[in-house]
């Protein structure tokens, strides 16, 4: 049995997972106003709430975390101020010192893809990219069941690939990044330009609204550009779309998948994606 963690800037989800099934789960808040000490203390509190009483059954602690994570070393290469002081923290060393157990650590966006690999044998036999359309756009890439995230592909940070020359400035300092066109915020901004209220564009599209149809056409064009941009970096067979904006498409998802130069699938793992992905990465521990 593995104890699996999904560490975010707001909450930390933990679960006991065996054979790919979540046996028990819990959630604890992340303390972010005390620097690294607060984040690490929150992590320990979350782990302890399931670990105590299950010590003899847990063989490893597997962690999905916000931030850019070096999978080989388990170190946080970079984290934003949402997790103050977290940059430079070696997660796996801390687990070994604190619990005496083997550990793996992976970025939460990458873990989301690994969670999909766990649920689908088909994805483990091909090259798969994932875009997580949330408040930003997360990226992940795997070849034949193994994550590929390194300096050569900029750790699969696909959300900051440019898809519009001379386009919208991004907070990363670049121009025309995918995140500025396909994130939930970007979709609502485009919808507002067409007089559509927040989080209603896909429902209106399904109802035949003309303005929503124009927005959907634009978004489908952006998605095609995104596919082309990712494929130029890491060629793939299937694209998985996850995150709140992809979920919000509902039955409109088929419109965006139709006619694309690759298979486009909706993510299946849901809120457990980070924990399931961490489990998949550490499955052999």
The reported pLDDT for the residue numbered 119 is: 93
The reported pLDDT for the residue numbered 152 is: 83
Q: Average pLDDT per run of 10 along the chain, which is 285 residues long?
A: 95 96 95 95 97 96 93 92 93 98 94 94 96 90 91 86 94 91 96 96 98 98 98 96 93 97 94 93 94
The reported pLDDT for the residue numbered 195 is: 97
Q: Please list, in sequence order, all residues whose beta carbon lies within 8 angstroms of the beta carbon of residue 21, skipping any fewer than 6 positions away.
A: none
Domains, the chain, ordered by start: 2-110+273-281 (3.30.420.40), 122-267 (3.30.420.40)
The reported pLDDT for the residue numbered 156 is: 85
The reported pLDDT for the residue numbered 44 is: 98
Q: What is the pTM of this model?
A: 0.87
Q: Please list, in sequence order, all residues whose beta carbon lies within 8 angstroms of the beta carbon of residue 186, skipping any fewer than 6 positions away.
A: 179, 180
Alpha carbons 46 and 171: distance in angstroms, whole number: 32
The reported pLDDT for the residue numbered 171 is: 80
Alpha carbons 98 and 258: distance in angstroms, whole number: 50
| φ, ψ for residue 234, nearest 5 deg | -140, 95
Alpha carbons 277 and 114: distance in angstroms, whole number: 4
| φ, ψ for residue 60, nearest 5 deg | -165, 160
- Pair 50, 62: CB distance under 8 Å: no
Largest Cα–Cα distance of the chain, in whole Å?
60
Report the run of H or E that residue 103 belongs to, with start and end.
strand 103-107
Alpha carbons 105 and 77: distance in angstroms, whole number: 12
The reported pLDDT for the residue numbered 22 is: 95
The reported pLDDT for the residue numbered 114 is: 95
């Amino acid at each position: 049995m593995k104890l699996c963690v999904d560490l975010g800037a707001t909450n930390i989800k933990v679960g006991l997972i065996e054979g790919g099934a979540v046996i028990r789960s819990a959630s604890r808040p992340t303390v972010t106003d005390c620097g690294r000490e607060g984040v690490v203390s929150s992590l320990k509190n979350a782990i302890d709430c399931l670990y105590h009483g299950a010590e003899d059954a847990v063989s490893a602690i597997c962690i999905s975390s916000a931030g850019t994570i070096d999978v080989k070393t388990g170190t946080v290469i970079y984290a934003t101020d949402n997790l103050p002081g977290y940059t430079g923290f070696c997660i796996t060393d801390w687990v070994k010192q604190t619990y005496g157990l083997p550990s793996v650590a992976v970025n939460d966006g990458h873990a989301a893809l690994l969670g999909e690999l766990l649920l689908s044998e088909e994805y483990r036999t091909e090259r798969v990219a994932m875009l997580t359309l949330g408040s930003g756009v997360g990226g992940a890439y795997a070849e034949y069941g193994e994550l590929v995230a390194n300096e050569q592909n900029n750790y699969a940070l696909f959300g900051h690939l440019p898809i519009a020359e001379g386009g919208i400035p991004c907070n990363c300092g670049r121009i025309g990044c995918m995140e500025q066109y396909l994130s939930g915020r970007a979709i609502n901004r485009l919808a507002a330009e067409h007089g559509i209220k927040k989080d209603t564009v896909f429902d209106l599209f399904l109802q035949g609204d003309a303005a929503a149809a124009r927005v959907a056409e634009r978004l489908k064009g952006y998605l095609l550009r995104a596919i082309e941009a990712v494929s130029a970096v890491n060629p793939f067979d299937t694209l998985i779309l996850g995150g709140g904006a992809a979920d919000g498409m509902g039955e409109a998802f088929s419109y965006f998948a139709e006619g694309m130069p690759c298979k486009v699938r909706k993510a299946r793992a849901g809120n457990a994606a980070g924990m399931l992905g961490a489990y998949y990465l550490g499955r052999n521990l």
